[in-house]
Amino acid sequence: MPILEMAAKFGTYAVMAVILIFALGVVTLRNIFHCALCLAAALIGTAVLYVAFRAEYLAAIQILLYVGAVVTLIIFAIMLTEHLAGKTVRQNNSQSPLAIAGLLGFVALLTVVILKTPWPVTQTALKAKVSVMALGEALMGTYVFPFEVISIILIAALIGTVVIAKKDAPEERL
Amino acid sequence: MIGIPLSHILIFSLLLFAIGVYGALVRRNIIGILISIELMLNAANINLIAFSKYTSLSPATGQIFAIFVIAIAATAAAVGLAIVLALYRVRKTVYTDEVNLLKW
Protein backbone atom coordinates (compact mmCIF):
# COMPACT_ATOMS: atom_id res chain seq x y z
CA MET A 1 0.00 0.00 0.00
CA PRO A 2 2.77 2.58 0.74
CA ILE A 3 4.21 1.85 -2.70
CA LEU A 4 0.83 2.65 -4.23
CA GLU A 5 0.60 5.91 -2.27
CA MET A 6 4.14 6.84 -3.29
CA ALA A 7 3.25 6.14 -6.90
CA ALA A 8 0.13 8.32 -6.65
CA LYS A 9 2.14 11.13 -5.06
CA PHE A 10 4.90 11.12 -7.66
CA GLY A 11 2.35 10.67 -10.42
CA THR A 12 0.58 13.81 -9.27
CA TYR A 13 3.85 15.73 -9.19
CA ALA A 14 4.64 14.45 -12.69
CA VAL A 15 1.22 15.61 -13.94
CA MET A 16 1.87 19.05 -12.42
CA ALA A 17 5.24 19.25 -14.20
CA VAL A 18 3.68 18.23 -17.50
CA ILE A 19 0.94 20.88 -17.09
CA LEU A 20 3.57 23.55 -16.44
CA ILE A 21 5.58 22.48 -19.50
CA PHE A 22 2.51 22.64 -21.72
CA ALA A 23 1.54 26.00 -20.21
CA LEU A 24 4.99 27.32 -21.12
CA GLY A 25 4.35 26.00 -24.60
CA VAL A 26 1.07 27.93 -24.67
CA VAL A 27 2.79 31.25 -24.03
CA THR A 28 6.04 30.74 -25.95
CA LEU A 29 5.29 28.83 -29.15
CA ARG A 30 5.21 30.89 -32.31
CA ASN A 31 2.45 29.05 -34.14
CA ILE A 32 -0.86 29.99 -32.53
CA PHE A 33 -2.41 26.67 -33.57
CA HIS A 34 0.26 24.79 -31.61
CA CYS A 35 -0.56 27.05 -28.66
CA ALA A 36 -4.19 25.95 -28.80
CA LEU A 37 -3.15 22.30 -28.88
CA CYS A 38 -0.84 22.87 -25.89
CA LEU A 39 -3.76 24.51 -24.08
CA ALA A 40 -5.85 21.39 -24.72
CA ALA A 41 -3.08 19.21 -23.29
CA ALA A 42 -2.72 21.43 -20.21
CA LEU A 43 -6.48 21.32 -19.64
CA ILE A 44 -6.53 17.52 -19.92
CA GLY A 45 -3.68 17.42 -17.38
CA THR A 46 -5.78 19.59 -15.08
CA ALA A 47 -8.63 17.11 -15.42
CA VAL A 48 -6.23 14.36 -14.33
CA LEU A 49 -5.32 16.52 -11.33
CA TYR A 50 -9.02 16.86 -10.48
CA VAL A 51 -9.33 13.08 -10.48
CA ALA A 52 -6.37 12.95 -8.08
CA PHE A 53 -8.24 15.40 -5.83
CA ARG A 54 -11.33 13.16 -5.91
CA ALA A 55 -13.38 15.65 -7.93
CA GLU A 56 -14.41 13.27 -10.69
CA TYR A 57 -17.46 15.27 -11.76
CA LEU A 58 -15.29 18.36 -12.19
CA ALA A 59 -12.86 16.32 -14.28
CA ALA A 60 -15.68 15.22 -16.58
CA ILE A 61 -16.96 18.80 -16.84
CA GLN A 62 -13.43 20.01 -17.56
CA ILE A 63 -12.97 17.55 -20.42
CA LEU A 64 -16.43 18.16 -21.87
CA LEU A 65 -16.59 21.93 -21.55
CA TYR A 66 -13.00 23.10 -21.79
CA VAL A 67 -11.36 20.55 -24.05
CA GLY A 68 -14.55 19.78 -25.94
CA ALA A 69 -16.07 23.21 -26.39
CA VAL A 70 -13.66 26.05 -25.59
CA VAL A 71 -10.62 24.62 -27.37
CA THR A 72 -12.76 23.77 -30.40
CA LEU A 73 -14.04 27.34 -30.41
CA ILE A 74 -10.50 28.72 -30.19
CA ILE A 75 -9.31 26.48 -33.02
CA PHE A 76 -12.24 27.60 -35.17
CA ALA A 77 -11.39 31.23 -34.46
CA ILE A 78 -7.75 30.61 -35.36
CA MET A 79 -8.72 28.94 -38.62
CA LEU A 80 -11.11 31.79 -39.47
CA THR A 81 -8.60 34.55 -38.81
CA GLU A 82 -5.15 33.14 -39.58
CA HIS A 83 -4.49 34.02 -43.19
CA LEU A 84 -0.71 33.88 -42.89
CA ALA A 85 -0.26 30.36 -41.64
CA GLY A 86 2.99 29.80 -43.48
CA LYS A 87 4.61 33.12 -42.71
CA THR A 88 6.39 33.54 -39.38
CA VAL A 89 5.04 36.64 -37.71
CA ARG A 90 6.46 38.09 -34.52
CA GLN A 91 4.09 36.83 -31.84
CA ASN A 92 5.36 38.72 -28.80
CA ASN A 93 5.64 42.41 -28.19
CA SER A 94 8.72 43.94 -26.63
CA GLN A 95 7.52 43.89 -23.02
CA SER A 96 8.88 40.42 -22.33
CA PRO A 97 11.83 41.27 -19.99
CA LEU A 98 9.72 43.69 -18.00
CA ALA A 99 6.92 41.15 -17.67
CA ILE A 100 9.34 38.42 -16.58
CA ALA A 101 10.92 40.68 -13.96
CA GLY A 102 7.59 41.78 -12.56
CA LEU A 103 6.18 38.26 -12.49
CA LEU A 104 9.30 36.87 -10.78
CA GLY A 105 8.75 39.39 -8.00
CA PHE A 106 5.06 38.49 -7.84
CA VAL A 107 5.79 34.76 -7.69
CA ALA A 108 8.51 35.19 -5.05
CA LEU A 109 6.27 37.32 -2.84
CA LEU A 110 3.31 34.96 -3.07
CA THR A 111 5.51 31.89 -2.54
CA VAL A 112 6.76 33.37 0.72
CA VAL A 113 3.19 34.17 1.74
CA ILE A 114 1.99 30.66 0.87
CA LEU A 115 4.83 28.97 2.76
CA LYS A 116 4.40 31.16 5.85
CA THR A 117 0.63 30.81 6.17
CA PRO A 118 -0.51 28.04 8.50
CA TRP A 119 -3.21 26.46 6.37
CA PRO A 120 -5.99 24.89 8.46
CA VAL A 121 -5.89 21.47 6.84
CA THR A 122 -8.66 19.48 8.49
CA GLN A 123 -8.90 15.74 8.55
CA THR A 124 -12.67 15.89 8.02
CA ALA A 125 -12.15 17.69 4.73
CA LEU A 126 -9.43 15.25 3.68
CA LYS A 127 -11.69 12.31 4.40
CA ALA A 128 -14.82 13.84 2.89
CA LYS A 129 -16.11 12.58 -0.40
CA VAL A 130 -18.32 14.78 -2.54
CA SER A 131 -20.87 12.87 -4.56
CA VAL A 132 -22.51 14.26 -7.65
CA MET A 133 -25.80 14.10 -5.76
CA ALA A 134 -24.43 16.37 -3.03
CA LEU A 135 -23.22 18.78 -5.71
CA GLY A 136 -26.64 18.85 -7.32
CA GLU A 137 -28.37 19.40 -4.01
CA ALA A 138 -26.02 22.26 -3.14
CA LEU A 139 -26.57 23.76 -6.59
CA MET A 140 -30.33 23.60 -6.20
CA GLY A 141 -30.42 24.51 -2.52
CA THR A 142 -27.75 26.75 -1.05
CA TYR A 143 -26.42 28.12 -4.30
CA VAL A 144 -29.63 28.42 -6.29
CA PHE A 145 -29.31 32.18 -6.65
CA PRO A 146 -25.83 32.17 -8.23
CA PHE A 147 -27.02 29.29 -10.38
CA GLU A 148 -29.85 31.44 -11.75
CA VAL A 149 -27.46 34.35 -12.31
CA ILE A 150 -25.15 32.04 -14.26
CA SER A 151 -28.11 30.94 -16.39
CA ILE A 152 -28.93 34.55 -17.24
CA ILE A 153 -25.27 35.24 -18.04
CA LEU A 154 -25.18 32.21 -20.34
CA ILE A 155 -28.28 33.35 -22.22
CA ALA A 156 -26.96 36.90 -22.51
CA ALA A 157 -23.58 35.67 -23.74
CA LEU A 158 -25.22 33.35 -26.27
CA ILE A 159 -27.35 36.12 -27.74
CA GLY A 160 -24.52 38.63 -27.57
CA THR A 161 -22.12 36.29 -29.33
CA VAL A 162 -24.53 35.73 -32.18
CA VAL A 163 -25.24 39.45 -32.50
CA ILE A 164 -21.56 40.40 -32.47
CA ALA A 165 -20.33 37.70 -34.82
CA LYS A 166 -23.10 37.71 -37.39
CA LYS A 167 -22.39 39.30 -40.71
CA ASP A 168 -24.36 42.51 -41.12
CA ALA A 169 -25.08 44.42 -44.28
CA PRO A 170 -22.02 46.13 -45.78
CA GLU A 171 -22.75 49.75 -45.10
CA GLU A 172 -20.05 51.56 -43.13
CA ARG A 173 -16.51 50.43 -43.48
CA LEU A 174 -13.86 51.80 -41.17
CA MET B 1 -5.18 10.04 0.43
CA ILE B 2 -2.76 11.98 -1.71
CA GLY B 3 0.23 12.88 0.39
CA ILE B 4 0.94 16.24 -1.17
CA PRO B 5 1.04 19.26 1.13
CA LEU B 6 -1.40 22.01 0.25
CA SER B 7 1.36 24.58 -0.22
CA HIS B 8 2.89 22.63 -3.11
CA ILE B 9 -0.41 22.69 -4.97
CA LEU B 10 -0.81 26.40 -4.27
CA ILE B 11 2.70 27.12 -5.57
CA PHE B 12 1.98 25.04 -8.66
CA SER B 13 -1.19 26.96 -9.43
CA LEU B 14 0.65 30.21 -8.68
CA LEU B 15 3.22 29.29 -11.35
CA LEU B 16 0.45 28.38 -13.78
CA PHE B 17 -1.25 31.72 -13.10
CA ALA B 18 2.04 33.59 -13.58
CA ILE B 19 2.60 31.85 -16.92
CA GLY B 20 -0.92 32.90 -17.93
CA VAL B 21 -0.27 36.52 -16.92
CA TYR B 22 2.99 36.47 -18.88
CA GLY B 23 1.16 35.25 -21.98
CA ALA B 24 -1.56 37.87 -21.59
CA LEU B 25 1.07 40.59 -21.23
CA VAL B 26 3.43 39.74 -24.07
CA ARG B 27 1.23 38.16 -26.75
CA ARG B 28 0.45 40.21 -29.84
CA ASN B 29 -2.24 37.88 -31.11
CA ILE B 30 -5.61 38.51 -29.45
CA ILE B 31 -6.43 34.81 -29.59
CA GLY B 32 -3.15 34.15 -27.75
CA ILE B 33 -4.26 36.56 -25.04
CA LEU B 34 -7.60 34.76 -24.73
CA ILE B 35 -5.80 31.40 -24.45
CA SER B 36 -3.61 32.84 -21.68
CA ILE B 37 -6.72 34.07 -19.85
CA GLU B 38 -8.10 30.53 -20.02
CA LEU B 39 -4.87 29.33 -18.39
CA MET B 40 -5.31 31.84 -15.56
CA LEU B 41 -8.91 30.79 -14.94
CA ASN B 42 -7.73 27.19 -14.92
CA ALA B 43 -5.16 27.99 -12.22
CA ALA B 44 -7.87 29.65 -10.13
CA ASN B 45 -9.98 26.52 -10.52
CA ILE B 46 -7.16 24.30 -9.30
CA ASN B 47 -6.88 26.52 -6.23
CA LEU B 48 -10.61 26.26 -5.55
CA ILE B 49 -10.56 22.47 -5.81
CA ALA B 50 -7.43 22.18 -3.66
CA PHE B 51 -8.91 24.37 -0.92
CA SER B 52 -12.20 22.48 -0.96
CA LYS B 53 -10.25 19.24 -0.75
CA TYR B 54 -7.91 20.26 2.05
CA THR B 55 -9.50 22.85 4.30
CA SER B 56 -13.18 23.38 3.73
CA LEU B 57 -15.78 22.14 6.16
CA SER B 58 -18.36 21.83 3.40
CA PRO B 59 -16.37 20.29 0.56
CA ALA B 60 -19.05 20.86 -2.07
CA THR B 61 -18.57 24.64 -2.00
CA GLY B 62 -15.27 24.72 -3.84
CA GLN B 63 -16.49 22.41 -6.55
CA ILE B 64 -19.68 24.44 -7.04
CA PHE B 65 -17.68 27.61 -7.50
CA ALA B 66 -15.28 25.82 -9.84
CA ILE B 67 -18.31 24.91 -11.96
CA PHE B 68 -19.36 28.58 -11.95
CA VAL B 69 -15.85 29.62 -13.00
CA ILE B 70 -15.88 27.10 -15.85
CA ALA B 71 -19.23 28.45 -17.07
CA ILE B 72 -17.97 32.04 -16.92
CA ALA B 73 -14.78 31.01 -18.74
CA ALA B 74 -16.81 29.43 -21.52
CA THR B 75 -18.90 32.59 -21.97
CA ALA B 76 -15.77 34.74 -21.85
CA ALA B 77 -14.15 32.66 -24.56
CA ALA B 78 -17.27 32.74 -26.74
CA VAL B 79 -17.82 36.49 -26.45
CA GLY B 80 -14.10 37.24 -26.81
CA LEU B 81 -13.75 35.16 -29.95
CA ALA B 82 -16.89 36.73 -31.41
CA ILE B 83 -15.32 40.15 -30.85
CA VAL B 84 -12.11 38.88 -32.48
CA LEU B 85 -14.06 37.69 -35.52
CA ALA B 86 -15.92 41.01 -35.80
CA LEU B 87 -12.64 42.89 -35.47
CA TYR B 88 -10.99 40.70 -38.09
CA ARG B 89 -13.84 41.34 -40.48
CA VAL B 90 -13.43 45.10 -40.16
CA ARG B 91 -9.67 45.56 -39.72
CA LYS B 92 -8.24 42.34 -41.27
CA THR B 93 -5.87 41.83 -38.34
CA VAL B 94 -5.79 39.99 -35.01
CA TYR B 95 -2.68 41.72 -33.65
CA THR B 96 -3.21 44.10 -30.77
CA ASP B 97 -0.65 46.69 -31.81
CA GLU B 98 -2.22 47.01 -35.25
CA VAL B 99 -5.59 47.93 -33.77
CA ASN B 100 -4.80 51.57 -33.09
CA LEU B 101 -7.76 53.46 -34.46
CA LEU B 102 -8.45 55.26 -31.18
CA LYS B 103 -4.78 55.90 -30.40
CA TRP B 104 -2.97 59.12 -31.13
Predicted pLDDT of residue A169: 66
Interface of A with B in 134-173 (CB under 8 A): 134-135, 138-139, 143, 146, 150, 153-154, 157-158, 160-162, 164-165, 167, 173
- Tell whether A165 is covered by a domain: no
The tally of domains found in chain A comes to 1
Distance CA B63, CA B86 (A): 35
Tens digit of each residue's pLDDT (9 = 90 or more) over B79-103: 999 999 888 888 888 888 888 888 7
CA dihedral sign, ordered A146, B41, A82, A41: negative
Nearest Cα to Cα of residue A126 among B57, B64, B43, B62:
B57
For the packed helices A71-81 and B60-91, what is the interaxial angle rounded to 10 degrees?
10
Tens digit of each residue's pLDDT (9 = 90 or more) over A118-137: 888 877 767 777 788 888 88
Rounded to the nearest angstrom, the minimum Cα separation between A60 and chain B is: 11
Predicted pLDDT of residue A13: 92
Q: Please report, for chain B, the start and end positions of each structural domain, with discontinuous segments joined by +.
A: 6-92
Predicted pLDDT of residue A87: 58
Containing structural domain, residue A40: 1-80
Mean pLDDT for back-to-back runs of 10 residues, chain A (174 residues): 83 93 91 91 94 89 90 90 64 84 94 89 75 88 92 94 80 59
Bigger pLDDT: B12 vs B103: B12
Predicted pLDDT of residue A110: 94
Predicted pLDDT of residue A132: 87
- Tell whether A167 is covered by a domain: no
User: Stretch B40-55: mean pLDDT, rounded?
Assistant: 90
Distance CA A151, CA A146 (A): 9
Bigger pLDDT: A6 vs B40: B40
All residues of chain B having their beta carbon less than 8 Å from the beta carbon of residue A19 are 12, 16
Instruction: State the average pLDDT for chain B.
Output: 88
The shortest CB-CB distance from B86 to any of A95, A114, A165 is to: A165
Would you say residue B66 has pLDDT above 80? yes
Q: In this structure, what CATH number is given to the domain that contains residue A49?
A: 1.20.120.1200
pTM for this predicted structure: 0.89
- Tell whether A39 is covered by a domain: yes
- Tell whether A158 is covered by a domain: no
Would you say residue B29 has pLDDT above 80? yes
- ipTM, two decimals, is 0.90
Contact between residue A8 and residue A52 where contact means Cβ atoms under 8 Å apart: yes
Pick the CATH number of B6-92 from 1.10.10.60, 1.10.287.3510, 3.40.50.720, 3.40.50.12780: 1.10.287.3510
- Tell whether A156 is covered by a domain: no
Rounded to the nearest angstrom, the minimum Cα separation between B47 and chain A is: 11
Predicted pLDDT of residue A92: 76
